Structure 1
Amino acid sequence: MKKILNTGITHKKELYKYNNDQRIIENSYYSNDSLKRRILYWYDNKGNLSRELTYFDNEPSIDTEYEYNHIGNLIKKTENYVNEYVESVVELYKYDAKNRLILFTKEDDDTKEIILKNIYKDDLLIESYDNRDDNIHTIQFDKRGNDIYYYEYDSIRNIILKIEKTFNERDSLLTENHFDNELKPRTYRIVNTYNTDGFKTEELFYDQDSLYERKVYEYNKNKLTKAVLYRKGKEIAHYAYDKEMATPSTGSKPKNEATTDPYGESDEINHQEIYDSQGNLSQYKAIYKGGLEEEKYFYYDMKGNCIRKEYFENGKPTYVIERKITYYQ
């Protein structure tokens, strides 16, 4: 464990209390031993969360109530605010005959909007409209559950981004094309190559059909050991790993789940990840443009749960996160 010096680091901690059924009944958050947030929880006779009362700086702020249908699905959530201009916010949830969430709406004193809408055909999700993360978007899936089309909209439902994807027979991403909207030419595209074991060996990033970045991966059997990033033909970063990879044939991605967009600018020029014998990330080091060096250390208990995280910048500690977990027989 790296030595931590007392250099004015802010000390943060969270405490949890549980009832006899091992359900959380209180969560308290402290900063430098000062109570900042406290949440109390209540449950109905079926064990469903029925109420939350949130305090900030020991003052009640949000009183939340939950309602469920006869099979335990959440159908209504009401947040009542204290001393706020919005008195309450109501969330409504609707399910189909197969118990799948198909509609989620939210309304306050003045507005009502659709937050989530899912469309199914037989047992397959074919389209999902999602407005939960401040970017309104729709995802369409193929018959194998791969996200092949993504549309992002502005506040008046104009398309501002369109993404098209293709996948191989192992459901690994082959190509990804981005468009400013449905009519304009592509802004950039991604092309991936895989080896016979299904591991990605190369990523090509094109900007307006011109090769901009190339990332090459190296493996030792089924372990990812190295990646090198080239930009306009010049090596700009390399990454060291010791990470065992699941082959796509035995560990493919979950269905009907959006593929992560790997494209994007980064100031990182070098990083290293070290994993312990159980496959847990134990150390992370990165060097950034401008000379910043970042280190993170992770510690785990016998059950594999992370109980301590240490963060350093240029060799100096910035903060520590500790978790105390009590296990019951």
Structure 2
Amino acid sequence: MRNIILVTKISFFIFIALLWSCENNKEIKNIKKTYNIPSIIEYDFPDTLKGKIKSIHIMKYDIEEINGKYVKVPYEKRYDIADYNNTTIQFDERGNDIYYYEYDSIRNITLKIEKTFNERDSLLTENHFDNELKPRTYRIVNTYNTDGFKTEELFYDQDSLYERKVYEYNKNKLTKAVLYRKGKEIAHYAYDKEMATPSTGSKPKNEATTDPYGESDEINHQEIYDSQGNLSQYKAIYKGGLEEEKYFYYDMKGNCIRKEYFENGKPTYVIERKITYYQ
């Protein structure tokens, strides 16, 4: 079962900031969208999603051999990297991620995040809850100017203002940002060359993730693609004799809905992704 990690309030804020890094960077042109997915989930599915997606539900299972048969069991954290429970992300018709849920192995909600967006698809509010029943634990409120640039960011611990960040611009150039905590300035940032962009700017391409075994240990790998150009199989051999295989399966839209992992010919775990679409 997933380990329970106790963190301080400040550590929790840092964790959430990393979890939802590159927030609000999305491109919407006609029906082509770049969906905002937390980085710890992109580690498992670093693909470009296709279609007009309504929701994504991700389920992770370990595979164990029981009485001569391989069966799915609750997933265990591995590789000492950030991990997550079963997850659901819901999007509005413009591609904004308005709800995020994490579940334990018996489908109890362990984390809920709700978001609202303005007509520019810029993030207005973000509310965090430890589960479905407890009061709000963390909140972000953003303000923008008429050009669509963020001017103020408020951070609340429950309903008490914890931090406030103010941004200043010269035309489209970010010149200064000041961070306040409980009314006192704690950090000051000056920008000379960095250009600010509205939150509707294009999302950067997915960055390659580091292999949990270490790239330097890989001595050979092979990628196999199907007739649609989708990666269907990946094989790798590592120093020490470990052989790893991954198999990928896709829906009619071309989105990956299942990844199977094998080590030395034996299944180890599987990730399933159920995707629903707007009509």
TM-score norm. by structure 1 comes to: 0.39
Richer in strand (by share): 1
TM-score norm. by structure 2 comes to: 0.45
Richer in helix (by share): 2
Look at both structures and tell me which one has the larger radius of gyration over its CA atoms.
Answer: 1
